[in-house]
Amino acid sequence: MLPPLTRLLLGLLPLVPAPLLADMSFDEMMHEKEVEERSLTEQEFAAVQRRLEAEREEERRRLAQQEHEARLRQEAERQRLAARPLGERLVEARCSSCHPLEQVVAARHSRPGWHLTMARMHYWHGAELTWAEHGVIVDHLTQTQPATTRQSMIEYAVLAALLTAPLALWLRQQRQRNRK
């Protein structure tokens, strides 16, 4: 256990000015402090401000350029969309509410096949279409998504069967009636 006086002196040690401990004069210490805290000269201040202003200006220019490019892209996209064939735009507007457009794009049909598909969409599923739109869409899809040969043959055969079925029925009825 240290004697009380020594303890008191040790406790006061942190309060001794740094220069005394660091072998530095009081003047020297004040000078150091001054150098650290010296405010910027007017020229330096102006230079910093100019640099900040230039950076802000550069940022503004960059943003304006980006905005300009985005507007150009939007306009180009709008023109591209507007320049597409009417059929393509109609399909997009009328045929994408119930199933994804990809399902329509993936399908291939002959002309009668597209007529039948469209009729099914209209009368069976309730797709809203005018006759004019029906025609435009069928023209467009027949051109851009034609059937393979095999599918064409099947669809024409189905169509022929559908068209001749009433005739065949009528003929059979006639024959039965004649037999009686």
The residue ranges that bind ligand HEC (CB under 6 A) are 91, 94-95, 97-99, 103-104, 107, 117-118, 120-121, 125-127, 129, 137
The CB-nearest residue to ligand HEC is 95
Q: How far is the CB of 100 from ligand HEC (least distance, A)?
A: 10
Q: Smaller CB distance to ligand HEC: residue 71 or 99?
A: 99
Q: Smaller CB distance to ligand HEC: residue 73 or 120?
A: 120
Q: Smaller CB distance to ligand HEC: residue 78 or 120?
A: 120
Residue 117, classified by CB atoms within 10 Å of its CB into exposed (0-12), middle (13-18) or buried (19+), is middle
Within 10 angstroms of residue 56's Cβ, the number of other Cβ atoms is 10
Cα-based angle 76, 146, 121 (whole degrees, multiple of 5)? 85
Distance from C-alpha of 62 to C-alpha of 118, rounded to nearest angstrom: 51
Residue type, 180: K
Q: How far is the CB of 114 from ligand HEC (least distance, A)?
A: 8
Instruction: Report the C-alpha dihedral over residues 150, 153, 154, 160, rounded to 10 degrees.
Output: 180
Within 10 angstroms of residue 112's Cβ, the number of other Cβ atoms is 19
Q: Smaller CB distance to ligand HEC: residue 32 or 92?
A: 92
Q: Smaller CB distance to ligand HEC: residue 20 or 107?
A: 107
Closest CA to 103 of 121, 115, 119: 121
Q: How far is the CB of 60 from ligand HEC (least distance, A)?
A: 48
Q: How far is the CB of 152 from ligand HEC (least distance, A)?
A: 14
Q: How far is the CB of 77 from ligand HEC (least distance, A)?
A: 23
Q: Smaller CB distance to ligand HEC: residue 24 or 122?
A: 122
Q: Which residues, other chains included, contact 19 with Cβ-Cβ below 8 Å and sequence gap of 6+? A: 25, 26, 28, 29
Q: How far is the CB of 92 from ligand HEC (least distance, A)?
A: 9
